[in-house]
Structure 1
Amino acid sequence: MSRPIRTLAAVAAALALVSACNSASENGTGTGKPGQSGSGTTRGVTADSIKVGGIVSMTTSSGYSKKDTDLGAKARYLRANAEGGVNGRKIDYLGAEDDGQDPGKNNAAARKLVQQDKVFAVAPMSSTTFSGADFLEQEKVPTFGWGTLPSFCGPKYIYGFNGCLVPSPGGTINQTWPEGIATVLGGARGKSVAVIANDSDAGKFGIRTFQQGFASAGFTVSYAKASVPATAVPSDWSAYVKDIMAGNDGKAPDAVVSVMQTPSNIGLFTALKRAGYQGVLSDPTDYDPGLLAKEATKQALDGVHVLLQFEPFESTDPKMTQFKADIKAAAGGKDVPLNMHMLTGYMSADLFLSIAQKAGKDLTVESFQAAAQNFSDTGTLVGDRSLPKGQKDSFGCGALVVLKNGSYQVSVPFKCHEPIPFK
């Protein structure tokens, strides 16, 4: 297509086209090396364009959707193109493939983008599964997303827009959430916290990291389990509520922290409130004005403190003003409710663009990687960024917002905290 921004291809057709691609050696790039075409040119790069695609969980079995991640990325690429592109090249954004939060589809989407569409980079990648990570790393495809999965921590070609959030031993843990909850409670000393997550790889990593983080901040961790099914929302939360409420030596904890998605959070928080829980509730996903459209959802999330790892939309920072203007432009001039998925796509694209700009006119995978190895900037919507540090550690910044009287309010302002060693 001639337009710099292309529309999303039909997922069913996309998967059919890659169904026969079962090995990394059949990479659709002729005789060239990973990252190159058969003629020796860099895959996805022409004299006047850079081809980029995305992978996003737009549809899921639970109804939870990250579809606005695609809009956020589109918004950032549109502005980049309006400003002349990257060193004279426009971004040819293909849109995002829908992996349906399914590992097989995630891997198939990664293969399609590389083998068929021949993208230079994948930005954004936003899903609770990342089975395509090994393939993208092997094919040397710069990939950007929210670093909430282990694959964003360690590989050379995969980057979290706010760093690595699930580090391996030797890395560090972001302390924004524990320090934020401590601020809400007036201190961590003598206070207890329960941490609950889905029974998934991401959930288990979340329990491991946050258990350490809250303990380091001075909390007693009275309950920490990745026990909730990841593929279906429980219809009965009574067993989970009973365990949480009795976990603190027979007493309820001072705070309950849920490392889960919106449908599960609504079910858990509703059940806790009905059981008479009066402590602090918190999660990292429910910062979405669209959730307030239904009265039952609004009641379930009322009083919940949501972890953000970026400047709140309520911020008066000029960069937030720019973000809002870019989203409006990408939405065809319409005022659309903002959500964190938009920010995920936007900042994934922003980090890719910033590194590509530094790589210079002679853009290759090698020059891009060289630029990434010495990249840093300050004052972004996710704080100060630095690579390759961000492939081992988080950028350490964040805030908390609370839903109160039908609207979000900043409960703990955006701030950067010193991370702690992950053991």
Structure 2
Amino acid sequence: MLRPIRTLAAAAAALALVSACNSASNSSSPGKPDAGTAANFRGVTDRSIKVGGIVSMTSASGYSKKDTDLGAKARYLRANAEGGIHGRTIEYLGAEDDGQDPAKNMAAARKLVQQDKVFAISPMSSVTFSGADFLEQEKVPTFGWGTLPSFCGPKYIYGFNGCLVPSPGGTLNQTWPEGIARILGGAKGKSVAVIATDSDAGKFGIRTFQQGFTSAGFTVSYAKASVPATAVPSDWSAYVKEILAGNDGKAPDAVVSVMQTPNNIGLFTALKRAGYKGLLSDPTDYDPGLLAKDATKQALEGVHVLLQFEPFESASPAMAQFKADIKAASGGQEVPLNMHMLTGYMSADLFVSIAQKAGKDLTVTHFQNAAQSFSDTGTLVGDRAEPKGQKDSFGCGALVQLKNGAYEVSVPFKCHAPIPFK
């Protein structure tokens, strides 16, 4: 964790608590303006800004996003090395583990705000975000991967690559459908099956991707959020049978899984054993660490993974900086890169970028005012703009394929025009 001025920050925080305007109940109450100036605002002293995170370090299935924390740490370390935010050091408390449990997610949000008195939460990375309403009510700027509806619409919650699950009136990112169409030589006459877990996120994913693939010209032959969300099935035969028969008794040209790694391994293994030869794709399995086990490597061989950021194979200056920052945060050690690191890094990067724009007098009101006209270009997620990103995605992405035990770019990073979500 980043605690370069921990003692000073703790003393300043103790002094700040003397003033009632700095308590969570007063300074961030719904409908009330910010109290005081940056020097006595919640989580902000003359010398520091306190930030925390919420990440699913553990889960019942064994899936972990723990490296999201390392990615955020890497970005904050560089910001501090460059002088902080207008002279203030970012005091990153590290991430609370919510275990993908809604109750723990809410508890983590309350702890960070009410006990730790953070100014912001970045990153927030979980399949559950039950603390969203509380953080919005308390006016806590929060940053994460915009794959949940809570990242689309609220004033204080931001997706690092925009809103990926919009409400009607928003837009859909077409990277996945357009990328798969490119690999298949076009979408005309091609069919796709989409499968997700039986959860709110899974059901919403089915709704959005069904529309996205249809708009790209595919026939969606199967689209169900039917896999249990709490446990990985031991027998995938029923799902495989439905998928392979969904296209009027024929196998689809592509199977798209909107699920996490343990489910993808089970599903893809079962499909291959059933003789399926079509395209397989998911949005989660870009992780060299997965290749350490032969069974996992075989299950994911040939799979095209959706990325909503530049691939690690990119030679851009921004990617070189990311790699250098991760190495520095790892004590100078070379570590295998994964997408969780990138989500933490870019969540932190968006927070840092808006906070810099907000100026020396950092309060939530000034932060929000800065966000209302924020934009930049050439980042690892493309061009960014707020508040556009709270309604629309930034529209960029790529596909990589695991081939002969190594990842290769199958569709280069590109920004696609989004489509209206209905």
Please say whether Structure 1 and Structure 2 have the same fold, judged by a TM-score greater than 0.5. Answer: yes
Q: What secondary structure, in the 3-state scheme, does the structure 1 residue paired with 2:323 have? A: helix
Q: What secondary structure, in the 3-state scheme, does the structure 2 residue paired with 1:135 have? A: helix
2:16 maps to what in 1? none
Work out the CA distance in 2 between the residues paired with 1:356 and 1:54: 17
2:24 maps to what in 1? 29
Q: In 2 relative to 1, CA 116–84 (structure 1 residues): closer, same or farther, beyond 3 Å?
A: same
Work out the CA distance in 2 between the residues paired with 1:59 and 1:252: 36
Q: Is the 8 A contact 1:312 1:410 kept in 2?
A: yes
Work out the CA distance in 1 between the residues paired with 2:36 and 2:47: 19
Q: What secondary structure, in the 3-state scheme, does the structure 2 residue paired with 1:206 have? A: helix
How big is each residue's C-alpha offset from its partner over 1:348-385, in whole Å with a ceiling of 9 and x where there is no partner? 00000000000000110000000000000000000000
Work out the CA distance in 2 between the residues paired with 1:328 and 1:178: 34
Q: What secondary structure, in the 3-state scheme, does the structure 1 residue paired with 2:24 have? A: coil
1:9 maps to what in 2? none
1:215 maps to what in 2? 214
Q: Is the 8 A contact 2:358 2:367 kept in 1?
A: yes
Letter in 1 for 2:394: F
> Does 2:354 correspond to 1:359?
no
2:283 maps to what in 1? 284
Work out the CA distance in 2 between the residues paired with 1:36 and 1:180: 45
Q: Is the 8 A contact 2:23 2:42 kept in 1?
A: no
Q: What secondary structure, in the 3-state scheme, does the structure 1 residue paired with 2:99 have? A: coil
Q: Is the 8 A contact 2:2 2:93 kept in 1?
A: no
> Does 2:68 correspond to 1:85?
no
How big is each residue's C-alpha offset from its partner over 1:212-244, in whole Å with a ceiling of 9 and x where there is no partner? 000000000000000001110000000000000
Q: What secondary structure, in the 3-state scheme, does the structure 2 residue paired with 1:156 have? A: coil
Work out the CA distance in 2 between the residues paired with 1:5 and 1:251: 63
Work out the CA distance in 1 between the residues paired with 2:390 and 2:2: 35
Q: Is the 8 A contact 1:36 1:43 kept in 2?
A: no
Counterparts in 2 of 1:66-145, with a 5 A limit? 66-145=65-144
> Does 2:243 correspond to 1:244?
yes
Letter in 2 for 1:267: G
Shift of 1:39: 10
How big is each residue's C-alpha offset from its partner over 1:21-51, in whole Å with a ceiling of 9 and x where there is no partner? xxxxxx9536444396899931001101100
Letter in 2 for 1:3: R
Counterparts in 2 of 1:48-59, with a 5 A limit? 48-59=47-58
Letter in 1 for 2:86: N
Letter in 1 for 2:166: P
Structure 2 residue ranges without an equivalent (≥5): 7-21
How big is each residue's C-alpha offset from its partner over 1:61-108, in whole Å with a ceiling of 9 and x where there is no partner? 000000000000000000000000011111000000000000000000
How big is each residue's C-alpha offset from its partner over 1:111-149, in whole Å with a ceiling of 9 and x where there is no partner? 000000000000000000000000000000000000000
Letter in 2 for 1:301: L
Q: In 2 relative to 1, CA 246–221 (structure 1 residues): closer, same or farther, beyond 3 Å?
A: same
How big is each residue's C-alpha offset from its partner over 1:235-254, in whole Å with a ceiling of 9 and x where there is no partner? 00000000000000000000
Q: Is the 8 A contact 2:194 2:256 kept in 1?
A: yes
2:201 maps to what in 1? 202
Work out the CA distance in 2 between the residues paired with 1:240 and 1:365: 48
Work out the CA distance in 2 between the residues paired with 1:272 and 1:155: 40
2:346 maps to what in 1? 347
Work out the CA distance in 2 between the residues paired with 1:281 and 1:194: 10
Work out the CA distance in 2 between the residues paired with 1:95 and 1:36: 26
Shift of 1:3: 2.4
> Does 2:321 correspond to 1:314?
no
> Does 2:224 correspond to 1:225?
yes
How big is each residue's C-alpha offset from its partner over 1:258-304, in whole Å with a ceiling of 9 and x where there is no partner? 00000000000000000000000000000000000000000000000
Q: In 2 relative to 1, CA 145–33 (structure 1 residues): closer, same or farther, beyond 3 Å?
A: closer
What is the TM-score with the length of structure 1 in the denominator?
0.93
Aligned length: 403
1:19 maps to what in 2? none
Work out the CA distance in 1 between the residues paired with 2:318 and 2:155: 29
Work out the CA distance in 2 between the residues paired with 1:415 and 1:164: 17
Q: Is the 8 A contact 2:27 2:41 kept in 1?
A: no
Q: Give the RMSD, CA atoms, in angstroms.
A: 1.6
Q: What secondary structure, in the 3-state scheme, does the structure 1 residue paired with 2:4 have? A: coil
Q: Is the 8 A contact 1:262 1:285 kept in 2?
A: yes
Work out the CA distance in 2 between the residues paired with 1:39 and 1:162: 30
Letter in 2 for 1:314: E
Structure 1 residue ranges without an equivalent (≥5): 7-26
Letter in 2 for 1:186: G
Q: In 2 relative to 1, CA 238–363 (structure 1 residues): closer, same or farther, beyond 3 Å?
A: same
Q: What secondary structure, in the 3-state scheme, does the structure 2 residue paired with 1:52 have? A: strand
- Aligned-residue sequence identity (percent) comes to 85
Q: Is the 8 A contact 1:51 1:93 kept in 2?
A: yes
> Does 2:327 correspond to 1:332?
no
Q: What secondary structure, in the 3-state scheme, does the structure 2 residue paired with 1:210 have? A: helix
Q: In 2 relative to 1, CA 249–411 (structure 1 residues): closer, same or farther, beyond 3 Å?
A: same
Q: Is the 8 A contact 2:121 2:143 kept in 1?
A: yes
Letter in 1 for 2:395: G
Q: In 2 relative to 1, CA 37–70 (structure 1 residues): closer, same or farther, beyond 3 Å?
A: farther
Q: What secondary structure, in the 3-state scheme, does the structure 2 residue paired with 1:211 have? A: helix
